[in-house]
Amino acid sequence: VVLAEVIKAFGAPENAQRMDEARDNACNDMGKMLQFLLPVATQIQQDVIKTYGFSNDGEGVLKFARLIKSYESQDPEIASMSGKLKAMFLPPMALPPHAAGTGGVATS
């Protein structure tokens, strides 16, 4: 329930706008993502999870993330929602040029 509410909060117009502005400021630079996007994502999560007994700080968000992680392997729905949440504030990871292609496996 809490995870669904967090995902819903990211979709709220004011939060979506905040995330878009942070993404624009970050320009797909991982260091800038940490500087601009992560604090906004953390705040959005804090606003939801504090009503469920988590502390209203970064530690509360970390505890929430660890709890979700512990349930991912037991519940496919939680795993799916967790993936959606991560996709909202983590950039898609591109393969480095040397890893593209065969993935280090020899082909004949």
pTM of the predicted model, to two decimals? 0.78
Task: Label each residue of 29-71 as H, E or C.
Answer: CHHHHHHHHHHHHHHHHHHHHHHHCCCCCHHHHHHHHHHHHHH
Determine what percent of the chain is predicted with pLDDT higher than 90.
63
Identify which of 88, 79, 91, 93 has the alpha carbon closest to the alpha carbon of residue 48: 88
pLDDT in tens, 70-79: 999 999 999 9
pLDDT in tens, 17-28: 999 999 899 887
The DSSP symbol for 75 reads -
Residue position matching structure tokens 């496996």:
105
Q: Grade residue 50 by pLDDT with cuts at 50, 70 and 90.
A: very high
